[in-house]
Amino acid sequence: MVSNDDPEGQKAFQHIAACTVLNSLVPMGMYATSMLNPAFLLPFYYYQFHYIKAVMEFKESKGNVASAKKLKRKSYSPFLILLMGFTATSVYNRHKKRQQMQAELNLLTE
């Protein structure tokens, strides 16, 4: 995250902050298009809040190694919750659609 060109991590912080803002908006779009059940939003934003705190600590510590490692560890939880939520919602929606198609087929065959 920190290189010789950016010893204090300011460029890295700017990129991370911009991505964090966009990553915080993605679940709302997924919810709006029924790709994500709203039950997964609360845990996502809980862990996203902890990730944002780690980003701010990274900036305050000027990109030292310990804060970079903490930032890396904190970045996994929101992504995994979003992935699990998307998968669970997709499976449920497919199941619901399959049941609906089966019910329509049963009505046609009667």
Domain boundaries, the chain: 10-109
Chain centroid, CA 103 distance in Å: 35
Q: Left (φ > 0), alpha (ψ -120 to 50) or beta: where does 17 sit?
A: alpha
Model pLDDT, residue 12 = 80
Question: Model confidence over 52-103: pLDDT tens digits?
Answer: 999 888 888 887 888 888 888 888 889 999 999 999 999 999 999 999 999 9
**How far, in Å, CA of 24 to CA of 75, rounded?**
12
Note the pTM of the prediction, 2 decimals: 0.76
**How far, in Å, CA of 61 to CA of 58, rounded?**
5
Question: Model confidence over 9-42: pLDDT tens digits?
Answer: 778 888 888 888 888 899 999 989 988 899 999 9
Model pLDDT, residue 69 = 87
